[in-house]
């Protein structure tokens, strides 16, 4: 076992079979954490789902999104909303390359450690509060990456950044936690405050 540092403690383990043959070494890093306190999210003016902003341009990283040309997703079609019901790709997404920044709040049902599973094609990144939970950036085909965060019961700020660089695309966020089996984050656990100019 390695000594504790700012990044936690790394533990390495290997299983040995009968006859002394060793299996592969598996490593994991453990860090001490504290439950993130919830945020007050008033009912007045609150809407279900995530606020969404689109970006046109060619991207290789979610860090490049704000260098693109910003567009309001409600302009994509006559019935297009200015928000999304969950973490997903908007209907009528532009052909080729584009990006999304989804902002809002997520309500967790009880305190504990929650695992978030972020699947995307191409790159994506998830923040809960001020913590980077999943970094799945860069061009790639549909794949999943997971991360954990300790949360108190209640509402927490959430941001998902995503870019599509061509070809197939997809975006999905699932979670599991204490007493909660793995599921896609439902729309009624997400909230935002609509832009009053729309």
pTM metric for this prediction: 0.81
Hey, CA dihedral for 61, 67, 73, 75, is it positive or negative? negative
CB count within 10 Å of CB 62 equals: 24
Per-residue pLDDT of the chain (198 residues; tens, 9 = 90+): 334 445 667 778 888 877 778 888 877 666 667 899 999 999 999 999 999 988 888 899 999 998 888 877 766 655 556 788 999 987 777 778 889 999 999 999 999 999 999 999 999 999 999 999 999 999 999 999 999 999 999 999 999 999 998 888 899 999 999 999 999 999 999 999 987 554
Phi-psi region of 152 (alpha: psi -120 to 50; beta: other; left: phi over 0): beta
Overall fold of domain 47-192: Jelly Rolls (2.60.120)
Q: Where in the chain is the domain with CATH 2.60.120.1560?
A: 47-192
């Amino acid at each position: 076992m390695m000594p504790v540092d700012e990044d936690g403690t790394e533990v390495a383990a290997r299983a040995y079979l009968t006859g002394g043959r060793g299996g592969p070494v598996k490593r994991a890093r453990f860090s001490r954490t504290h439950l993130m306190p919830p945020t007050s999210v008033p009912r007045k003016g609150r809407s279900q789902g995530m606020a969404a902003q689109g970006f046109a341009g060619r991207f290789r990283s979610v860090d490049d999104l704000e260098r693109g040309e910003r567009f309001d997703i409600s302009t994509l079609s006559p019935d297009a909303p200015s928000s999304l019901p969950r973490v997903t790709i908007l209907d009528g997404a532009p052909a080729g390359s584009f990006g999304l920044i989804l902002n809002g709040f997520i309500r967790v049902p009880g305190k504990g450690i929650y695992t978030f599973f972020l699947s995307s094609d191409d790159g994506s990144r998830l923040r809960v509060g001020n913590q980077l939970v999943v970094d799945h950036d860069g061009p790639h085909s549909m794949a999943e990456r997971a991360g954990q965060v300790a949360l108190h019961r209640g509402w927490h700020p959430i941001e998902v950044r995503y870019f599509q660089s061509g070809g197939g695309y997809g975006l999905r966020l699932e979670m599991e936690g204490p007493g909660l089996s793995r599921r896609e984050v439902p729309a009624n656990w997400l909230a935002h405050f609509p832009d009053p100019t729309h």
